[in-house]
Amino acid sequence: MTKSELKEFLDAKAEQYEHPQFLEQDPLQVPHRFTQKEDIEISAFLTATIAWGNRKSIINNALLMMELMDNTPYDFVMHHQNQDLDVFQRFVHRTFNAGDLAYFIQALKNIYTRHGGLERIFHEHQTTSGLQPAIHQLKGIFFELEHLQRTKKHISDPQTGSAAKRINMFLRWMVRSSEKGVDFNLWKTISPAQLSCPLDVHSGNVARKLRLLQRKQNDAKAVAELDNSLRKMDATDPVRYDFALFGLGVFEKF
Kindly report the number of other CB atoms within 10 A of residue 10's CB atom.
23
Cα separation, 94 vs 60, in Å, equals: 13
The Cα-based distances of 229 to 4, 70, 100, 109, 248 in angstroms read: 13, 43, 36, 38, 17
Strands (E), the chain: 92-93, 96-97
Residues pairing with 93 in the sheet = 96
Burial class of 191 by CB neighbour count within 10 A (0 to 12, 13 to 18, 19+): middle
pLDDT for 17: 95
Res 158: pLDDT: 97
Q: How far apart are CA 7 and CA 250, in angstroms?
A: 20
Digitized pLDDT (tens) for each residue of the chain, 254 residues in all = 899 999 999 999 999 999 999 899 999 999 999 999 999 999 999 999 999 999 999 999 999 999 999 999 999 999 999 999 999 998 999 999 999 999 999 999 999 999 999 999 999 999 998 999 999 999 999 999 999 999 999 999 999 999 999 999 999 999 999 999 999 999 999 999 999 999 999 999 999 999 999 999 999 999 999 999 999 999 999 999 999 999 999 889 88
Can you give the pLDDT at residue 1? 84
